[in-house]
A and B are shown apart, each in its own frame.
Chain A
Amino acid sequence: MLREKPHLLLAAGFFLFVSSLPGICQNADSLAAAYSRVDSLHSSVVLSRRDANYLSKGKDMRVEVISSAGLQKMACCNLAESFENSASVTVGYSDAVTGARQIRLLGLSGVYTQMLDENRPFMRGLAAPWGLGFVPGQWLESIQIAKGSPSVVNGGESMTGQINIEHRKPTDEIPLFLALNGMSDSRMILDFVSSFPLGERFYTALMGHVEGNFMTHDMNGDGFMDDPKSLQFNVSDRWLYYTPSLQVRFGIRALQDHRQGGQSGYDKVAYTFGSTAPWGSDVTNRSLGAYLKVGVPLRDDQSSSVAAIVDYTYNAVDAFFGASCLLGKQHSAFLNLLYRNQVNESHDFTVGLSATADRYDKNILRAVASQDVMLPLAPSFFVGGAYGEYTFHSGDVFTAILGARLDYYGNEGVRAVPRATLKWQPASWLVLRANGGRGLRYSDPLIDNIGVFSTGKKWSGDYDASPLEKSWTYGGNATFYLPFGQNEETSYVSFDFFRCAFSSQMVPDYEMKAGEIAFYVTPDSYTNNYQMDFSVEPIERFTLGLTARFTDAKVLLKSKGLVEKPLLPRFKGVLNLQYRTNLSRWIFDFTAALNGSARLYDFMEGDRSPLYPLLYAQVTRRFKGWDIYIGGENLTNFTQKSVIQGPRRADGSFDPSSALFDASAVWGPLMGIRLDAGIRITIWK
């Protein structure tokens, strides 16, 4: 029997591993609402094809797509966790206390990656430190990760790439989707999505998310909670009004998230500096947002259109760290007016005007051993200008995209951001891409490095300034499609190289002086990123994906010269395996990641972190209209030892009032093994 069905032998090797739902629909809500529903007719779903993570062959840039199948491969309950099985994006913690997650793309912090919500910039400013936890994974349809220097249409802020998320659509015809998940560390999550039409032209999608972590755990015995206690409420309502001559999308969103971490029993009101009362963090985020996208085709064939996109977000953060605090409010607005014209099959151009405006009201109290200051900061930023992008196609063989922006940056004056992308497909089995361009963004030293609040160290230098960071990014990709496997489009080996070099970057230097974090602009900082991806479906319904990435990241520090960036693994390998039975009734998923060593700060024990594995697994059983799954993450139970740095008191506990106290030096997992189980119910119209 096994000889006749070799796949059973393989399946047996993944016993009790969790798997994912089918479905690779990807409706890109692109920049102009007039053509935002790119419901390409060029697709065929064969039930045996479930591409969870794949490189998009049709895209001009190097784009990795995490489909709905990939989003449900593991217990990925929010946007941060959805990147766990991507080798392009690394996920980690900003510190060991607040639960703030951060990503890295091309070896650089996620603040250098432009986050887009259906092509509208989001997760900026005060929303950035905790924002990855505010996007429920079950709300999403797909994620596209574009490495390099992307289109100028959405601004010039992106330096390492763009990550665009696509939500479930109002036209999904799913009156009810429910998902319930429970984890072994007491975290519980409930999601619901309801998409339905209202009449012939209106559609809406109502989404809700409730999440809570009700118990504390200290698996490594350092006296600090591994994961903060938390409670989050998140709702969103997205609308579509559609006629052949007009398309309008609008929506609103509201969020409240409260989390309490650090030592159990921390009271933000009662705590005073120097006391022996429990030290911790208490963070409350509130957010309100609304957007409007209007698209009007100017020709019947939709080859010409105008569109307007407006987005407003209000963020408020009340964050307490021991006796210090950050009380901040932010109003952000984004406007994009664009005109697109496809002259003929070869020539296409887009021109427009866009602007972002941010107004902050921040009050920061820094009450630590060697610093007691109040910082009222109320900066405002306006970046606005004009852009143009020209695309040349020579059939499907060659594409060139040339774009440029001219923006006004306040005191910095007018700056240009040029970008270019080339794609050449000389044969059906070979795709070559090259990409490059400039990136400019205003830094916010304290918010960009939120972990500095979880230390007792003195801040020095330009921590209250917001200089303009400047970079050039360029690189390329070669993808070879292989003549074997069950699916030609997902049988490939791909090689990438990207370099991102800063001529001006704000850095926090932890190694200038003991007990101090110095903020300054460095004129020399770069990352060289090499990546290989291999994907194949060797036998029916069994897919294998293998990725290896090497990062050479250096920064010029006043304290040390040009050195390797700290806490950044030089190497990462990811192996993804999935097996599905016929008609995907059972799906087994396994992901193994191997993380290389990273340079440690000189105040940490040892020079480099160890190599460590992370294993994830999931098994799903699908029925008509519902499915259940069980899974686990970090199955080898690896955690970072000595997360908290600093002296200890006589009783052996850490002394958070010390100037050497540091809870932000995180290079590895904080949580050990976690198991989870859940159910998803889909009721179709």
Chain B
Amino acid sequence: MKRILLHLSLVLSFLLMAGMTSSYAYASSQKPRKEKASETLTTVTFTTNMHCRNCQKKLTENLSFMKGVKDLEVSLEKQEITLKYDSRKTGEDAFVKEINRLGYKAEKKADSAVPQKVK
């Protein structure tokens, strides 16, 4: 009997945790996102010529460690690389140079350099 109660309580604990997490996630998704303290961040998108997932992985692993990079999306489907960076620390030329060094083309998408906030 004790064992059954223990099993039940453990299962219920798991379910409770799952339920609480889901509720929090759902509630979070309903609230408007609080904007973070402003930083000087610019977003730029390049079109490139990846041909497989390895290319995607190679670009991700190398670009993410560049100085000033804050966020990165590498899309094999769209053939695009989108970087969010601190314009005080790096710039588009550095990204183009690095992408070319890795063996890929980098053509800036028109109107893609979007500064977001000024600190």
Contacts and interface: CB of A to CB of B under 8 A. Distances in A.
Interface in A1-47: 4, 22-23, 25-27, 37, 39-47
A214 interface: no
B37 A22 contact: no
Nearest to A613: B10
Nearest to A485: B25
A20 B5 CA distance: 36
B99 interface: no
Nearest to B74: A45
B33 to A, nearest CB: 10
A27 B6 contact: no
A267 interface: no
Given A45-B76, A539-B28, A575 B14 contact: yes
Contact of A41 (B3, B77, B102): B77
B54 A484 contact: no
Contacts of B57: 23, 25, 45
Contacts of B61: 22-23, 682, 684
Contacts of A22: 60-61
B73 A491 contact: no
A25 B25 contact: no
B107 interface: no
Interface string B17-46: 110011011101100001011000000000
Nearest to B10: A594
Interface in A580-637: 582-584, 594, 596-597, 611, 623-624
B71 A684 contact: no
A25 B26 contact: no
Contacts of A548: 11, 14
Contacts of B97: none
B118 interface: no
B14 A171 contact: no
Contact-size category for A:
35 or more
Contacts of A169: 54
A47 B63 CA distance: 11
Contacts of A46: 73
A44 B77 contact: yes
Given A39-B51, A45-B57, A173-B54, A536 B65 contact: no
A611 B53 contact: no
A237 interface: no
A292 interface: no
Given A45-B76, A46-B73, A484-B25, A573 B14 contact: yes
A47 B52 contact: no
A546 B76 contact: no
A482 interface: yes
B116 to A, nearest CB: 15
Given A39-B53, A583-B64, A536 B58 contact: no
A43 B60 contact: no
Contacts of B62: 624, 684
A54 interface: no
A584 B73 CA distance: 13
Interface in A32-72: 37, 39-48
Contacts of A41: 76-77
A468 B29 CA distance: 55
Given A22-B60, A46-B73, A682-B61, A484 B78 contact: no
A544 B10 CA distance: 17
A318 interface: no
Interface string A471-497: 000000000001111000001000000
A546 B54 contact: no
A536 B14 contact: no
B54 A47 contact: no
B3 to A, nearest CB: 7
A45 B60 contact: yes
A484 B22 contact: yes
B80 to A, nearest CB: 9
Contact of B7 (A23, A584, A611): A611
A25 B53 contact: yes
B70 interface: yes
Nearest to B24: A538
A571 interface: yes
A118 interface: no
A571 B14 CA distance: 13
A334 interface: no
Interface string A522-559: 00000000000010111100001010100000000000
A684 B28 contact: no
B56 A25 contact: yes
A437 to B, nearest CB: 31
Nearest to A37: B52
Contacts of B14: 546, 548, 573, 575
A537 B76 CA distance: 23
B72 interface: yes
A613 B58 CA distance: 38
A582 to B, nearest CB: 7
A22 B56 CA distance: 12
Contacts of A222: none
Nearest to B65: A624
6 contacts: A23-B61, A42-B76, A45-B75, A485-B25, A575-B17, A685-B103
Given A575-B14, A584-B64, 10 more contacts: A44-B75, A45-B74, A491-B25, A536-B22, A536-B25, A538-B25, A573-B11, A596-B7, A611-B3, A611-B6
Task: In the A-B complex, list the 8 residue pairs whose CB atoms are closest, starting with the nearest.
Answer: A538-B25, A624-B65, A39-B52, A25-B53, A44-B75, A484-B26, A484-B29, A484-B25
